[in-house]
Structure 1
């Protein structure tokens, strides 16, 4: 038994020596440290935990009382992908990190993997006489040719170059956990009309209200302080709502992620915009789906700093900084005598604060959001966004004009496509405006 262990250890060492140049080319000292640490533990027959890896391989990255470390999981995922890629490209012994275990293991190459009939055919060929071998060779060539044609047809039919579009290519190569953030809206309750009730409240029980000037329960407290006469008539019911367009976009996003090669390994979490934290923005890749009115400030602030577009206070239009062009949705000011005819979908990709990626699929109105949900997986439309080095590295934005008939989208036309200016977004806070949570001069924007 000891001799077998030593043999396995020698094979691990040889396989590790073969793959180490590829790790060095990756240019990540952390990955090299992790690889060397796991190699030593695996040769010794040990399988360390996340906490051990964080404290022993990456000194100072383990938190007291914290049983998990996202940095360890991210690096394990990246190392697992690199080992798999090298195993496909090389011959001989391969190394792999088994799912659910943190150790290096020999993974023998199997050239007949996926073709279970090939091994049996080879065995029969070796035991056959010369005449039978000629027949076997003919059958093997014919079967192999048919199999090749079938596989080629399947690849051409099913594999779309989604990961090759400028929107998804850098995101697909990231290897980080993914957080899908969807826009949601805070609602408070107005009590029955009467003493202490706010002006405009109707009878028949509490009425849920969405007011853009009161986006959180903290703002409701400020609203009550600034409007003491109405304070007793407004109550926090801890209610949030999500639009139908947001749900539809999330469904389309789920199908789109399943088409990306990296999605089978990704750790994907779904959170509301009101639940997004700075830690998520730092540690994970972010995908936002929703309207601008539901975008959290953690995403809206850096996006608008990188963009040359400005968002109107009513959140229904985007304008060029010099005022030369305005993109305004008419889906927020409809009456019984009008139907919506125009909205805008906005797509953006930009680097995050820690080298991660942020994608945004946004609508000015509900029609624009529905269109953004369709665009996120539309290869033909996304290929219109020309891929350049600046866009891949610094990010870009695109605006689509959406033509609608009421609740039905007719078509979308790309009208703006350009890089973002993200050079100092995360390092320069800029001038901080005076904090005014409630604007007494703002128009009535309740829904």
Structure 2
């Protein structure tokens, strides 16, 4: 029962606020109040509508919302989201377009498991779906995974990525966004040692903390200030009886959301007060800018406690990736063994999560890779979100990434054939 009471208390508070919003909306919307128009009732109804939606979306997994796609033939084709590999903690999804010719580039998009669902990369998927076969890691909410499924830490995550790479074959281009960048690098090094023929053609690391100490941010400062004991006592809780993962130790998504909001609390407070005013004036919409953003931003998932704690201890505090000391089941994973996979890093000049310098550190670790297979791109005015979504990604970063893939499309295949012949 340890920590289960606090988990249920957070869920109770969330549920109560959702109910308060629904109650206020229902009460202030009674037809009888229309007899005596009063701005107070309009404001109360608007507050209730925004509040109910806000707290409801926290436990709702967003939909991908990618249903049709216009191809070169000028026709709209349905988009089918198929499960290629099914695992307890993650599924590998494929965005297939029936009726469209198979695209030359095959991209594995590694989504972050840092509190949000993989749908955070929806716009990234849409932009790549135009002329690529797109696959993505769809991490599961830990509260929905039974305790019988076992543990899941950074080593397990790395093995998952290696398995997905092997399943897709050596003609794959891997794009890791933010948090999984160090583990995607480790997974590639793991394949370089264990199964060289299965290595991807290229690896693109976007805004990842390869070396968190290379440039300090609020995230890295927090990791340095607290001890592992403090983290376990204050951040880890047991899933309550409401969900299938009852009893599983997790880092709750609601706690992660609270930390996200606290970093820009004034901005979020203004956004919600402005939205209440828009709703009261009848200027809102179900898919307006506010709702599109917060439907995704507020939808959070729980992380397995082992994954969260081992990430902080081994990636941020121990710097195992940065120092090339990462191990899996006691065996050293040598990043220097990567010698034929082209590697590119992407950083944003205004990134306050993974500051410039943290991701490019990966290139120094690739001692066995020729310089002509290494590349870094710095987007001067982009923040953390902008390096994988928005105009900076669409107009500047995406073209450079796809060009890098095309320039290195044949290398891995030749090496794979050579190894197979040997």
Q: Same fold (TM over 0.5)?
A: no
TM-score computed with the length of structure 1 as normaliser? 0.20
- In terms of fraction of residues, the more helix-rich structure is 2
TM-score computed with the length of structure 2 as normaliser? 0.21
- Report which of the two structures shows the higher radius of gyration computed on alpha carbons: 1
Task: Return the structure number with greater relative CO, CA threshold 8 A, min gap 6.
Answer: 2
